[in-house]
Structures are given as structure tokens and as C-alpha cells.
Amino acid sequence: MSQQEKSERQPSIEIRFRCQAKKKSEKGFLFEFLQHDEILTSKEMILQAVKAYWMPIAMAKTNYFSEDELSQVGLRAIQELRRQMTEIAWLTGLELENVHFFGENPLQESLEPERIEHLEVDLTQETPLTDLGL
């Protein structure tokens, strides 16, 4: 049986999300942007963001995926988030070097200093997926 046939027989899950905002508000401008992008649909943009932010965590909380699969999804998510951070910095005129990623994190106190340093290094290193733009 092919992978496609297997996936077609699996039960599906659906999530519906509805949100409204005043047209002249931050959320209103965001929704306008999402609805009228010339490259991606709003559904594609939202799914891309949610996958980068939550997919590795969702997958890690199951016993369904191998460590290799989790690593690959984690790397892709970090690369996507780094790409988005770079674009945000460029559009807003910010220098990423001046942004302290862990300075205002409420979880920082619960992490050991060596672990924080390791996380900061991991986020700045190049990965095999960098060349792929992921």
C-alpha cells in the first residue's frame, strides 16, 4: 500500500479559527495583510507561522516520531523563525545583535546558565538546512 493510500485512510482532524478585529487596529491591519498578500493565501501564511512556532513542540509531546524526525523538524522550524526574525529586523530597522533573546524570558531563571549559553550558540550557528533556505 502506498504512503498516499495510507494517509487517505487515516482519520482527519480539523481546527476552525475565527477572529475579528476593528479595521483600524493592529489586528485589523494584520488581518488585512493576511487576506491580501499577493504570494500566499491567508491559510498558507497562518499555517506556515503555526508550524514554525508549534510543530516541533507538538511532535515532541508524542511518542510517534523518531529523534531524527524531531531534529529535522526542529532545525527547519528554527531556520524559518530565524529567516522571519531577519525580515522583521530589516523591515523595522532593528539590529539583531542588539536584541537580547533570553534577557526578558520568564523561564530564564529556571534554566541553568550553561544551558542558556548553549541555546544562544545553537540559534546562531549555521545548519545543513541553511543552504536550502529553511
Nearest to 86 by CA among 96, 77, 76: 96
**Are the CB atoms for 42 and 34 separated by under 8 Å?**
yes
Q: 82-100: per-residue pLDDT in tens?
A: 999 999 999 999 888 877 7
Residue 33 is predicted with a pLDDT of 94
Q: How do residues 37-68 score in pLDDT, each as one tens digit?
A: 999 999 999 999 999 999 999 999 998 999 99
- Residue 126 domain-assigned (yes or no): yes
In a domain, 9, yes or no: no
**Structural domain that includes position 88:** 19-132
Looking at the structure of the chain, the number of domains it has is: 1
- Please indicate, yes or no, if residue 42 is contained in any of the structural domains: yes
At residue 3 the predicted structure's pLDDT band, cuts being 50, 70 and 90, is low
In this structure, is residue 6 part of a structural domain?
no
Asked whether 84 and 134 are in contact (CB, 8 A), the reply is no
Residue 50 covered by a domain: yes
From CA 130, how far away is CA 83, in angstroms rounded?
A: 10
With respect to residue 3, please indicate whether it lies within any of the assigned structural domains: no
